[in-house]
């Protein structure tokens, strides 16, 4: 049996409540462990007057001292970078 890849992309419809007509699409792409270890939020909004808006949010780990692997953000960046480096060797 083949194991599930950590690089799978998933798209799932999340409905707010049965019959509400509200919801959103949850789109998951490469995990945050992969370099550069960022999370992204993309919101597509119907403005209800014939226009739409796109809102983008980018989140980085707080890793001021990347050499201090006791810091979770620094550890995440280091792990992602090591993974990316191995691909190139």
pTM higher than 0.85: no
Report the C-alpha gap between 28 and 55 in whole angstroms: 17
pLDDT in tens, 38-78: 777 888 888 999 999 999 888 776 666 656 666 666 776 67
Mean pLDDT (the chain, rounded): 73
pLDDT (0 to 100) of residue 50: 93
Cβ atoms of 34 and 80 within 8 Å: the answer is yes
pLDDT (0 to 100) of residue 44: 85
Q: Which two tokens stand for residue 71?
A: 């810091």
């Amino acid at each position: 049996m083949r194991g599930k890849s950590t690089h799978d992309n998933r798209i799932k419809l999340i409905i707010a409540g049965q019959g509400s007509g509200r919801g959103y699409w949850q789109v998951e792409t490469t995990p945050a462990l992969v370099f550069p270890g960022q999370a992204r939020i993309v919101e597509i909004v119907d403005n209800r007057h014939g226009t739409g808006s796109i809102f983008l949010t980018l989140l980085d780990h707080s890793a001021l001292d990347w050499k201090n692997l006791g810091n979770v953000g620094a550890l995440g960046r280091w792990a992602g970078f090591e993974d990316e480096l191995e691909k190139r060797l």
